[in-house]
């Protein structure tokens, strides 16, 4: 097995490692070492080449005991459940999904938004939630059009415009059958 070494910080990568990107949000998995480059598969399933300087090794640590401290929490970017778990609401605006869009093409952003929509429907189905609100905004309608194509492919669902009084024309309600 080949290892690539960063001498200034003694970091090595090997196939199977989880890595974070320096200039973009998210994590990926090292799939191959190719000369001076590292091939990484992103969470969305895309393979790209990176230099070692563009990556950080993503390590997880096991902790036996922790103390709770007063911490100001960031607004979370995961789907929010209504108080009674009647429905799941997922904001598909790219700024709600990733912290940094630098280096992402419009296609990359659209794929990330569609992945979030599919993931929200799957999470609702697994959690026994029967309704998902997908907030896509109005804009030029590209996301909405692609979202409808995605929803047409899914089984055992109905979808339609969400409550106009609450969301305007910028949301779609998905009912799981």
Q: What is residue 73's predicted lDDT score, i.e. its pLDDT?
A: 52
Alpha carbon of 4 to those of 33, 40, 124, 160: distances in Å? Answer: 8, 14, 41, 51
- DSSP letters for 106-171: HHHHHHHHHHHHHHHHHHHHHHT--EEEEE--STTSHHHHHHHHHHHHSSSEEEEE--HHHHTTSE
Domain boundaries, the chain: 4-57, 80-176
Distance CA 112, CA 107 (A): 9
Q: Which residues of the chain have pLDDT under 50?
A: 1-10, 76, 81-84
Task: Domain 80-176: give its CATH code.
Answer: 3.30.1370.110
Three-class secondary structure of residue 83 per DSSP: coil
The predicted structure's pLDDT at residue 69: 57
pLDDT of res. 5: 41
Report the CATH fold assignment for 4-57.
SH3 type barrels. (2.30.30)
Q: What pTM, to 2 d.p., does this model score?
A: 0.54
What is the model's pLDDT at position 24? 78
């Amino acid at each position: 097995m080949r290892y690539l070494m960063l001498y200034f910080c003694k970091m090595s990568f090997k196939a199977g490692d989880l890595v974070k990107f320096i200039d973009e949000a998210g994590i990926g998995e090292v799939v191959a070492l190719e000369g001076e480059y590292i091939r990484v598969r992103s969470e969305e399933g895309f393979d790209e080449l990176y230099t070692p300087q563009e990556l950080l090794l993503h390590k997880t640590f096991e902790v036996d005991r922790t103390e709770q401290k007063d911490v100001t929490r960031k607004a979370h970017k995961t789907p929010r459940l209504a108080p009674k778990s009647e429905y799941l609401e997922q904001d598909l605006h790219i700024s709600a999904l990733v912290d940094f869009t630098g280096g992402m093409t419009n296609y990359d952003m659209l794929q990330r938004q569609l992945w979030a929509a599919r993931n929200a429907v799957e999470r609702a189905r697994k959690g026994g939630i029967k309704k998902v609100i997908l907030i896509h905004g109005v804009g030029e309608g590209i996301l909405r059009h692609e979202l409808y194509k995605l929803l047409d492919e899914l089984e055992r669902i109905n979808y339609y415009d969400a409550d106009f009084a609450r969301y305007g024309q910028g949301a779609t309600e998905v009912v799981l059958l």
